[in-house]
Amino acid sequence: MYMLLLKIRRCAVSIPSNIAEGFMRKNTKEYIQFLHIALGSLGELDTQVELSIRIGFIKEEQNLNENITTIRKQLYGLIRVLKEKL
């Protein structure tokens, strides 16, 4: 259980960290690449939350799943807008 909690925390920190790092590169193509990395971390987080629910480590929280979906949509939207500006 402890290792799963560590992985969840690592992913949760990785998402905004990659967004910030990509933004600071001041290069749109690199920024998009870091946004894709953030999406990967979000996918990991989504999987780990689902596993935690299935094994009874955390209670099923609809709001948590909705937040993950909202963040995913926001990242895809940002990527789309940035690609249009290239």
Asked whether residue 83 carries a pLDDT value surpassing 90, the answer given is yes
Q: Within 13 Å, how many C-alpha atoms sit on residue 29's CB side?
A: 1
pLDDT in tens, 6-42: 999 999 999 999 999 999 998 999 999 999 999 999 9
- Average pLDDT for 77-81: 98
Each residue's pLDDT tens digit, 37-55: 999 999 999 999 999 989 9
- CB within 8 A of 1, min separation 6: which ones? 57
pTM of the shown model: 0.92
What pLDDT is stored for residue 9 in this prediction?
A: 95
Largest CA distance in the chain: 45
